[in-house]
Amino acid sequence: MPFNVWTRWIKRRVPTSLWGRSLLIIVLPVLIMQAAVTWAFFDAHWQAVTARLSEGLAGDVAWAAESYRDDPSARNLALISERAERSMQLSIAFQPEASLPAEERRGALGLVDRTLEKALASRLDQPFWFDTTRYPAYVDIRVQEADGVLRVIAPRERAVATQAHIFVLWLMIATVLLLAVAVLFIRNQVRAIERLAHAAEAFGRGESVPRFKPHGAREVRAAASAFLDMRSRIQRHIDQRTALLASVSHDLRTPLTRLRLELALAPPFKRAEAMKGDLDEMEHMIDEYLAFARGEAGEAAQTISVPEMLRRAAEDARRAGAAAQVETPDDLNMLARPLAFRRAINNLVGNAASHGEHVRLSARPLPSGGLEITVEDDGPGIPEDMHEEAFRPFSRLDASRNQNRKGVGLGLAVARDVARSHGGDITLGRSELGGLKAAIRLPADRRAP
């Protein structure tokens, strides 16, 4: 398999989060080290010790068999048994006229059996048989003699290094303790980064995190301090822009009010109504500029009833002369800034009612846990290649939408800004009614019980 294929295969299976990757950096080397130490221990120590023990036991069994073969009398057998019991911890018995068992009894791994068999084969000339599984604390060895079978019962520690599991147990305990300390340390470090990410995401949605303070490693604290400085500069810029536009709005309303008053006091003339219409449009444009600059960023999030909000928007569409219908579950709620989100919905519904005769508002929960709100109309729609252009501030589209008959081209821009500040977005598409379909999709954390 090519190297780049292996690289892609590994990348797809490596954790994507910092927490998972940091844990992998700690856990993987520890596990590899434990496996290497365990393998080296069993290969270089345990097997060597077991082989030496098996050779010693095989030598004792060979001595007993040779001693009995030199003098196969009951008196000599008793003397061999007494000496073997006292000096070698071996229990020796003779079974007259017996033969070796036909079946072999071997352990699951077979490592001890192979070592003991090799040692016995090197020391004994006559046939033998052994069993390391029947008795947990003993090894049964039988040697074929001319007149029967010489049976030797030896303690298991005479043939196997039985304390090896203690070493492995202590190694595992030490590894678990080391990993626990590493996990706690990594978790604390990653939590600082997660809090920084949460604060940045909340600020992007127009929410404030007043209790956020830099903590964690030095580099993380530096990044958090830089974020706080950046947030302060951006907020200061927004406040200055809002204050400037509010002042401009106030200054412009003063002459507009004088003009409206002069028109009201002036004698009737031919262009009076047209001039009043121009004044109304100018006032509406000033309100839209200010709303776009302000964006209701300081508003606190609250639980909103989606059906109630859509029904109010539908009433506004009916007052504008369009037939409106609402399709939504009755128990659907969301967490949002009420004024900002209602303004976004009203902008979409106002556009739909302005360019179509039928408006349909619907909402539904998404399989991912989020929420989708759609506004559809039966108007001329917007060409697909101009969907992104429609979201640009002050954008005036071609005749397909009648040149934005009212307003300055900020409706969709304000609606998208509100949706994105709530963690979602707006997409445009073709409606089943034949016109435009605007869909607001919000993430799962905006669903409210």
Q: Tens of pLDDT along 244-257?
A: 777 777 777 788 88
- Pair 382, 425 in one domain: yes
- Tell me, letter by letter, the H, E, C secondary structure of 178-245: HHHHHHHHHHHHHHHHHHHHHHHHHHHCCCCCCCCCCCCCHHHHHHHHHHHHHHHHHHHHHHHHHHHH
- Pair 39, 88 in one domain: yes
- Pair 141, 219 in one domain: no
Residue 177 inside a domain? The answer is no
Q: What is the mean pLDDT of residues 392-421?
A: 66
The CATH number of the domain holding residue 241 is 1.10.287.130
- Pair 289, 333 in one domain: no
pLDDT digits 0-9 by tens, 418-445: 888 888 899 999 999 989 999 999 988 7
SS3 state at 328: coil
- Pair 253, 307 in one domain: no
- pLDDT value of residue 147: 87
- Pair 224, 305 in one domain: no
- Tell me, letter by letter, the H, E, C secondary structure of 422-443: CCCEEEEEECCCCCEEEEEEEC
Structure tokens of 109?
Answer: 């791994």
- Pair 282, 303 in one domain: no
- Pair 111, 144 in one domain: yes
The CATH number of the domain holding residue 435 is 3.30.565.10
- Pair 19, 160 in one domain: yes
pLDDT digits 0-9 by tens, 294-332: 555 556 778 999 999 999 999 989 988 899 999 999 889
- Pair 268, 320 in one domain: no
pLDDT digits 0-9 by tens, 233-289: 888 887 777 777 777 777 777 888 888 888 887 788 777 788 887 787 777 777 766
Q: Is the dihedral of CA 99, 101, 107, 113 positive or negative?
A: positive
- Pair 19, 150 in one domain: yes
Residue 94 inside a domain? The answer is yes
Count of structural domains within the chain: 3
Q: What is the mean pLDDT of residues 104-116?
A: 75
The strand pairing partners of 151, in sequence order, are 93, 142
Range of the domain at 285: 213-294
The CATH number of the domain holding residue 45 is 3.30.450.300
